[in-house]
Structure formats: structure tokens, C-alpha cells
A and B are shown apart, each in its own frame.
Chain A
Amino acid sequence: MNKPDIIPEPMPADYATDQEVRWCPGCGDFAVLNQMRKVLASIKAKRENTVFISGIGCASRFPYYLDTYGLHGIHGRAPAIATGLKRMRPELDVWVVTGDGDGLSIGVGHLVHALRRNVNVKILLFNNRVYGLTKGQFSPTSFPGQISRSTPFGSVLEPLNALTTAIAANASFVARAVDTQADTLSEVLHRAAAHKGSVFVEIYQNCHVFNDGVFEYAKDKKTRADHVVELADGQPMVFGANRDKGLRQKGFGLEVVSLGDGVTEGDLVVHDEQAAEPTLAHLLAAMRHPEMPEAIGVLRAVERPTQNELMGKGDAPMKTQEEADRDLETLLKGKDSWVVE
């Protein structure tokens, strides 16, 4: 059955394909997929103008489950595929779905360059700190001590921080959300859709099979308020179940303080998404559980010219067939031809 071209009030189900969703029961990917469909419906995304591009990994199955245009690529290369598409078709809304192995290991080179170029694609990185599709090896975001099939005695090396990497690449939009935490995920995806420029969203995603519970501190309704700070632009950084803790500047860094005893909200750092310098965003991105609360929400949202705005200036204007033919003839002839009679 063909769907009508224009659906006036689209529903999330309008963005679903007839393909059976094949993730393990309990996988965090389901929640993100559902949220994505809701957001697409809410922004009335035109299916024909929306493209999802992915690499390889559990998350990279995403395009098959969205009734838009989609391209399931090869490991790590989705940002480069998206860059080529967007360069030639700037009017399309292009999303990239990647994971910690796909985006931060084999494909990290493409990721940072897509962000640097401000290609105007929305990159969603599902971070589960493990290789799922290949069945349980440690990933570049695994923490020291993580037991995996390829680290039977525990991983020993420092992980790569997805958000500081994105900020180092001068990403114009940087955010973090949690798979099952619908409100922030929805808000972040809405903001991502609206942002002009390259978007980088890290989504904490539970791999139920190979790394279950790794984000429990940020997901568990009872404890999460003490372990994450939800960012609000222009607001002081308060967190905790009783909203009695905050972040204060200390030297070149941040420290956790308890409110009261002479410490007031006025002493806390105020969030500024649009700060031209990425220093604050970097400090927030670097905060790591359990020493610090982890930042959830939009860390950085600045305006800077996109790849197409910068490179598109040199693009040739549309020509008529005759003009184009004439230009080609002139080009072929060159400036130094001669005629043999």
C-alpha cells in the first residue's frame, strides 16, 4: 500500500516501516527509535526529504525501521556518506545514527571532520560502552576494569569521551540524553532537528546483553537526580534529589558544593549554551560519574556557517541548457587552441 504523499497530521506510526525490528528484548535502542518516530511526527517531518544514514553496529539498523529514505553503510563511514549527500542535496534533512564503536573507533576520523565542517547533519551516537553486534568486546568508551570477551581480565585503558571529542572538533551543537528518559531525549531531539549546523548527540544506551546496567546511575529514577545535572540555558547548575547541590567554579574547573551554609545559587555557574568559547561545554562534558554528576541536555548550541553556506557560495548558478552547452564548448576549446585547415 502506498502512503499518501502528504500526511497533514502525521502520527509516529506513519514513520514506521513494515520491517520487523530486530534488537534484543530490553535493548535501549527501542526507546530511542520510538522517541525518534514521535519527534518526526511532532515536527511534521516530510518523509521524502528525510534521510537516515548509518554505519555498522546494533544502532546502525535504525534506517531500516524508519519509512524515510535510508542508507545502511559500512563501518564508521556514515558521517562521510552524509557529507557527500548533504553537499549535493542541501535541502534534505540528514540524520546519522552511529555507536561508540562505529563513531568513536573505526569512524572517529569522519566524525570529527563532519563536525568541524559543520555539515548540517544530525549525528546521534548511541553509546553503550561495548560492541554489541560482534558480541561483547570492549569499546573505546569502556571504562578501566570492564570485563568483556576481549578483556577477560578487565579493560585497563582510558576511554575516549564522546562529548569532549565533539567539542574539540568545534561541533556547533553538543548534547547528551539517556535512552529511556523520554522528556530530555525528546527535547534534545527536537532541538537537534531545529539546529542549523552539525549536531552531535550522545545517547546513553543500555546494552541489555553485553553491558547491562552500565548507565543505571543515570537511569534509575530513585538515584538519577543525584548523579546527573540537567542543563538549562541561563540557569544556575543545581542538581540532587532535593535540589541542594550545585556546580561552582574552582580554579580552571568545576566542583560540587552543597547549597546552604552561606553557599547560594548565586555562587553557582550559570549555563551558557551559546558561549563562543567552548570552555564551559568542555568542563561539563568532562564530568564523570561517580566523582561528578554527568551533564544531560544541551551543552553547546552556537551558530556558525555551515559547509554548504561556505562552499555553496562558489557554486555555479543554474544555467539554461544553451548556456551550459556554450560554456562547455568554450571550456573544451581552451585558451590556446589552434586550427588545422
Chain B
Amino acid sequence: MNDAPSNNTKAMTRVTHKPVAERRAVVVRFCGDSGDGMQVAGAQLTYTSALAGNDIATFPDFPAEIRAPRGTLAGVSGFQIQFAADEVLTPGDEVDALVAMNPAALKTNVSWLKPGATVIVDDDAFDDRGLRHAGYDANPLEDGSLEGFDVLRAPVTSLTKEAVAETGLGRKDAERCRNFFALGLVYWLFGRDMQPTLDSIEAKFGEAEGGAVAAGARKALNAGWSYGETTEALERSYIVPAAKLPPGRYRNLTGNEALVLGLIAAARLSNKTVFYAAYPITPASDILHHLARQRAQGVRTFQAEDEIASVTACIGAAFGGAMAVTGSSGPGIALKAEALGLAVMLELPMIVIDVQRGGPSTGLPTKPEQTDLLLAMFGRSGEAPMPVLAPAGPGDCFDTMIEAWRIATRLMTPVMVLSDAFTANGAEPWRVPELSELERIPVTHPETPPEDGPFKPYSRDEMLARPWAVPGTPGLEHRIGGLEKKDGTGNISYDPANHQHMTDTRARKVENAQALIPDLEVFGPETGDVLVLGWGGTFGACREAVQIARTEGLSVAHAQLRHLNPFPKNMRDILGNYRHVLVPELNSGQLSAVIRARLEVPARSLSKVQGRPFTVHEILTRIRELCAGETTA
């Protein structure tokens, strides 16, 4: 069922002789020091699980500090994945199997464990030093605090060293293979094929240190598997059957990767070249990294001297006719605000990506939040509206980029896209579209001056868009700027009536995006007690909570809003069909405030600002409460 390239011909399919039990869904979480390679292990398990046909959702949980002191709580890096035989919408509320590489990792993650969960620890790391670093007074493996869990004390460090001894790797390099040992053990536990990972090791490390690194990683992986097979502490392994995904070609994508593919596709569909200007900032930098590698696709990246330069360079590039895109996170978007006002005034198309993180200020740079909604909608001087979109998960980032560019060019306006740290770094299987499934984006530039007089840069079509005339075109020379301008000619105008007209026109133009976007779709009954209205990255948790609530017989539906400005045409009607509208959002109620103000619907906010995504349980609990008693809003 898969045709992934396999260049390593030494087939490595090892078969367990212990009993195997079947599970529909499993949540695994790797955690360790930020240098322990937990993200690598997580990514490998994700890939092999996807190849095995499971549906998956992942949640990389990065520490804020790149290199916190070893073994401390601040340095713990985690990677959670749920793989399942059925549709998976979230990385899971609770963990079935935790791999903790040191005491700090155990301490920070023990609260996520399901009752009876399997806990695999590196026993070697639970020495006095490790326990002290993590702030444990007593060894949690011995004081009974892990009662109720299935604890496997594996001497990961010493067995890894033993396994890689003959490769000649030094102590440090040998210890770096610990993650592969742990991964091998997890592969045994869930019956995973090791071959894809062996191929990746080959591709990644190849001849490094004369091939010793690759050999070490391979041996550690195998040793981990063998340990699982031989240790008496593990009685059985588990298998999760393949899910029934709709037919097609699939690959695994993170949100940031999907954004990048979406941008490149949008450029192709409109016959444009991507100009991506950005300044390094977590968690948006990966967009720059991925795009920088795509020169052959015509992408031009520009790492600017600051956030303001990145957006103003986009203004220059857009004036020149390019597909200009800038990306950042909240603090950077705040810095771009003045220039975005100029872009609104100039009525030039561009895409602005905000990968939201915990704020305000530096806040929680690696953690997800949805606290920039009002910034995106209103955070500019004067009245400077722009369309705002939010992808509902990693894969949806692809389509959102194409839609954003379609709107930007059709209306001649900057478009803001709100992703978040959870969506950006999370991965899921994405069905690769055929090019023929993607609609072209027609973009035209006037080439000749009008017959009847001078070119008017602020003349408008039926959607109120102005012409995108680019330098280099004879006869269309014109000047645009941030001063208020007369509609039509674009000449500077201080006329009060004209300013009113232009302010209204800019707003109406953005409202016209309603004609370009689809209606809000509802999952579940058309009327009922509760509509859960999510936006952006909360999709999975909202949908799963609603699915469970419906199996409980509750009258509840779900809609995920991708279009935050303007709202879809049918939105007010839809919201009116339910007794309660519940808006779960990772902020203090920003969307519900806008809904109350604009649609006069008494939306209820389910707010969470903890730098963590919603659990399904949190949303489900609120749905049950609303259905159970409260009858008035």
C-alpha cells in the first residue's frame, strides 16, 4: 500500500514472537532534554506510522530555550503523536505511552498520562544528579508515585553505548544515539517497520565520521527493538490497523511546510514569482527556511534587517508586480503595522502570515495562542481593514494560501493569514492534489493607457479593485503614496467628502471578499442546542468534542470559521439556528467579542490562555454543561 522509495535493500522487517494486541488509537509522547533528539524520534515515528496507513496528528512541544542547562525542567522538549485506525483530529488529550529520557522529562509530563499508561524511562538517567536537576527529593521510580502506571526501567544509556561500541564512536556521539534506542523500543511496542527509518538514517548521516554515525544510529535502533523483544517486563506489543483514508497520494506535512507549498502553488497558478521577505522569529522562521531552499521553483527570499524592512520590501516588490509575502509572529506583526496601513492605502496585493505564539511581548515564543485576532483585524492606525483568514490545521494551510492570494489579487489588498505555533509545527497526512484540481488565479496588469485621457491608478472595477499597473509599462506612469488620494486619479486630496468616500470604499472592498469565499459549513444538525464555532488551529479539538457529544445524544453541531474578515454571508443565519453559540479560542474571547459586536449574536466564549492547545475534554465538558441546563444565553 505504499510506494515510498527504499534504497536500502537489506530488508529489516523483524517479527515479534510475543503476543500482539490490537488497538484503535495510540498516543505516544517522547520527552527529554532539548539535545536528546526527541523531535527526530517523533518525526520518524510520525513518518513510519503514516506509511503504515494510520491517520495521525502530532504536537511538537518545544522548550523556549534553545539550550537550557542539561537535565533541567526548562530544557524539556516533547513530541506527541496520535496514530489511529480511524480518523484522527488531535494529537490526543492523554498519553498511552510516555518515553522519558531523564527525571525532568518525567516530572514535566507525568500529568498527561492516561491511567495504566506505559512509561518508559532511561533508568541510567535517574541518578542523584539527574534527580537533583529535576528537583526530585526522592526517586519517583521507587517511591510509589508512579503506581497505576506500567513503568519500564530500561537502561537506555548503557545499552546504547554497548550497542554502538564497535562503531568506534566517541562517548558523546554514542550517547547521541539514545533516541534511536528509545525509538527502536517504541517500534517494537507498536509493531512498526524499521526500514523507513533505516533509510532515513542512511540519507541523513551517510558517510559522516566514515559512516560511524549512521552505523551507530542503526545499531541503537535495532538494539532498542531487541530489548523490547527480550525484556520480561514487556509481555506484549500492540498493533494499530491502517485507517481508511480516501484514496489518493499522501504525504506528511507540518503547517509551515503546507504554507510553503501553498505559496508556491499560488504563484504558479497566477504565473507569478514568490518574493518572501522576513526577519527571523519563532515560530515563523521555518517558512523562511523552507522557502529559501525552493529557488528552483522561482522563489526569491529576502532576510531583511528588521520586520519593518521585510514588509516594506514586500510593498516595493508588490508595486513591481510580484507575489509579495511576509511572515512573522505577533511581535513582528505589531512592528509591521504602520507599513500594513500603507499597503492598505496603496491597495497593493500581498500576503501577511502571522504564526501566532503566546504573548504579549516576548511572551511564550514557542507556545500556541490565538491572541492576535484583534491585532490582525484592527491593529493599524486609522481604519485600515483587510481580509483575515485562518487555516484549520496543518494541511489546510495549503488551501488557505491559495485562497489568500486569490482574494489579494482580485481585490488589490493585503490579506492576513493567522496560523499558530500548534498548526505550524503539527503534522498530519495531506492528500497531494493534482494540478488539475487547483483553479488558476487570473491576474492581469494593464498594458496600454486609456484612449480617453490619462491613466487613473485609482479607477475601480465592479469589485472596487483598482488596476495593478506596474513600472516598466509606457504611458501608465503614476505616483502612489500614503497620503489620502482622490478616488480615480489618485492625486493627493484633503477633501473631507473624498476622505469619507475613500474610507467607505476601502471597507466595502474588503466586504466584497464575501463574494469570493464559500458559505460557512456546519457538521451536524442544522438546528440544535449548541453550535461549537471554532477558528483556526482549534479545529481538531472542536470537531472531536462535538463527535463525542453527538454519540452521547447531545444536540450539538460544529463549524470551523476560516474567514474571520469578512465573515461568510450565511454566518448570522447559521448562528441563529442554535440556542447557544460556543466559541472556544486560545485567547480571552476575541472572536466572540467580534461576533457580538458585528452580528449581535450572544456568542459564549470558552477561553484558554495557557500556551497550550485545547484538550477535547475541555470543550466537551462545556458542551455538556450548556446542553444540560442553561437555557438562556
Contacts and interface: CB of A to CB of B under 8 A. Distances in A.
B201 interface: no
Chain A CB within 10 Å, residue with most, of B316, B324, B491: B316
> Across chains A and B, which 7 residue pairs bring their CB atoms closest together, nearest first?
A72-B481, A84-B313, A84-B316, A85-B316, A338-B2, A70-B479, A80-B309
B309 A70 contact: no
Contact of B309 (A68, A109, A333): A109
B442 interface: no
A69 B479 contact: yes
Interface in B236-268: 245-252, 261, 264-265, 268
Interface stretch (A28-36, A177-185, A236-244, A320-328): A320-328
A57 interface: no
Main SS at interface, chain A: mixed
Nearest to A51: B471
B479 A17 contact: yes
B433 interface: yes
A211 to B, nearest CB: 24
A108 to B, nearest CB: 11
Given A84-B312, A338-B250, A113 B305 contact: yes
B339 A74 contact: yes
A311 to B, nearest CB: 7
Given A73-B481, A88-B320, A110-B309, A334 B251 contact: yes
Interface of A: 1-3, 5-6, 17, 19, 46-49, 51, 53, 56, 63-64, 67-74, 77, 80-89, 91-92, 109-110, 113, 311, 314-316, 319, 321, 324-325, 327-329, 331-341
A73 B471 contact: no
Contacts of B491: 19
Contacts of A77: 308-309, 312, 339
30 contacts: A2-B449, A2-B453, A2-B475, A48-B472, A51-B471, A64-B492, A70-B480, A71-B315, A71-B479, A71-B481, A72-B480, A73-B312, A81-B313, A81-B315, A81-B316, A87-B275, A88-B300, A88-B317, A89-B321, A89-B322, A91-B472, A92-B471, A110-B308, A319-B298, A328-B264, A328-B268, A331-B261, A332-B265, A336-B251, A339-B248
A92 B322 CA distance: 14
Contacts of A335: 5
B170 interface: no
Interface residues of B, number: 78
Contacts of A46: 474
B126 to A, nearest CB: 36
A6 B475 CA distance: 9
B338 interface: yes
A83 B249 contact: no
Interface of B: 1-5, 47, 50-51, 53, 245-252, 261, 264-265, 268, 271, 273, 275, 277, 294-298, 300, 302, 304-306, 308-309, 312-322, 324, 338-339, 341-342, 346, 432-435, 449, 453-455, 470-483, 491-492
A63 B480 CA distance: 9
Nearest to B265: A328
Contacts of B455: 2
A80 B319 contact: no
A81 B312 contact: yes
A316 B297 contact: yes
Contacts of B322: 88-89
A88 B321 contact: yes
Contacts of A47: 474, 477
B295 A314 contact: yes
Contacts of B53: 340
A80 B308 CA distance: 8
A82 B454 CA distance: 26
A80 B2 CA distance: 48
A72 to B, nearest CB: 3
Nearest to B323: A88
B295 A315 contact: yes
A72 B297 CA distance: 32
Given A72-B479, A73-B342, A84 B251 contact: no
Nearest to B476: A48
A48 B251 CA distance: 46
B482 A69 contact: no
B480 A333 contact: no
A6 B474 CA distance: 8
Contacts of A53: 316
Contacts of B300: 87-88, 311, 315
Contacts of B297: 316, 327-328, 331
Contact of B251 (A63, A327, A333): A333
B296 A327 contact: yes
Contact of A89 (B314, B320, B341, B453): B320
A336 B4 contact: yes
Given A77-B312, A332-B433, 16 more contacts: A5-B475, A47-B477, A69-B319, A69-B478, A81-B313, A84-B275, A84-B320, A88-B316, A92-B320, A110-B305, A328-B265, A334-B432, A336-B47, A338-B1, A340-B246, A340-B250
Contacts of B482: 56, 72-74
Nearest to B199: A336
A88 B273 contact: yes
Contacts of B51: 338
A244 B50 CA distance: 85
A167 to B, nearest CB: 18
B268 A71 contact: no
Given A69-B479, A88-B320, A338 B4 contact: yes
A68 B264 CA distance: 32
Nearest to A74: B342
Contact of B472 (A2, A49, A328, A338): A49
A328 B277 CA distance: 21
Contacts of A74: 312, 338-339, 341-342, 482
A20 to B, nearest CB: 10
A77 B471 CA distance: 19
Nearest to A76: B308
A47 B476 CA distance: 10
Contact of B312 (A2, A67, A80, A328): A80
A3 B251 CA distance: 56
A19 B477 CA distance: 14
A73 B476 CA distance: 19
Chain B CB within 10 Å, residue with most, of A6, A17, A56, A340: A340
Contacts of A72: 479-483
Chain B CB within 10 Å, residue with most, of A67, A71, A316, A339: A71
A69 B249 contact: no
A339 B473 contact: no
Contacts of A340: 1, 53, 245-250
A329 B418 CA distance: 26
Contacts of A336: 4-5, 47, 251-252
Contacts of A324: 268, 298
A314 B247 CA distance: 38
A117 B433 CA distance: 39
A260 B251 CA distance: 84
Contact of B316 (A2, A71, A91): A71
B316 A82 contact: yes
B477 A67 contact: yes
A79 B449 CA distance: 29
Given A83-B316, A316-B298, A332-B265, A48 B477 contact: yes
